[in-house]
Amino acid sequence: MDRAAAMEEREVTGLVVARVGSVEATSAATLPWVVLDGAGRAITPVSDFLRELLACGNTPASCRSYAFDLLRWFRFLAAVDVEWNHAKRADVRDFVLWLRTCHNPARDRRRPDAPVPGSLNARTGKPYLTRIRR
């Protein structure tokens, strides 16, 4: 496959990424968090990476954060039918584009007293998150 074909644009705007798998706490001191696939099996490369993070002095909380990010990455790869060890630069690009267009729960406004999206915080002067238009 030539470079131009590898960098073809994949439409990610309407991509449906299944919410399969999970991040689970463990009792192991050497692996406090594990990422499970849709069948409930640990994703070995992720476990290896999380052990390395912990060995390099990262906290279990950092490992948990990375675990959720890697779960999201593996879900995306499954949705675009790419094996993790065959992912290319274009797949990373598409993942980032998908993250920018997919639903972000932090932007939901369910409280009746929540500020209007995009309005300014009176104390800080910073805008509140806006809704993503679909």
Query: Looking at the structure, do residues 96 and 112 belong to the same domain, yes or no?
Result: no
Phi–psi pair at 3, nearest 5 degrees = -60, -40
Predicted confidence band of residue 6 (pLDDT cuts 50, 70, 90): very low
Kindly state whether residues 95 and 68 are assigned to the same domain. Answer: yes
User: What is the DSSP secondary structure assignment for residue 120, as one 8-state letter?
Assistant: B
Structure pTM?
0.73
Are 94 and 124 in a shared domain? no
Q: Are residues 13 and 47 in the same domain?
A: yes
Same domain for 95 and 119?
Answer: no
**What domain range includes position 53?**
3-102
Q: How far is it, in rounded angstroms, from Cα 93 to Cα 111? A: 34
My answer on whether 67 and 115 are in the same domain is no
CA distances 99 to 2, 90, 103, Å, are 27, 14, 8
103 and 78 Cβ atoms separated by less than 8 Å: no
Query: Given pLDDT bands bounded at 50, 70 and 90, which one contains residue 4?
Result: low
Q: Residues, the chain, total?
A: 134
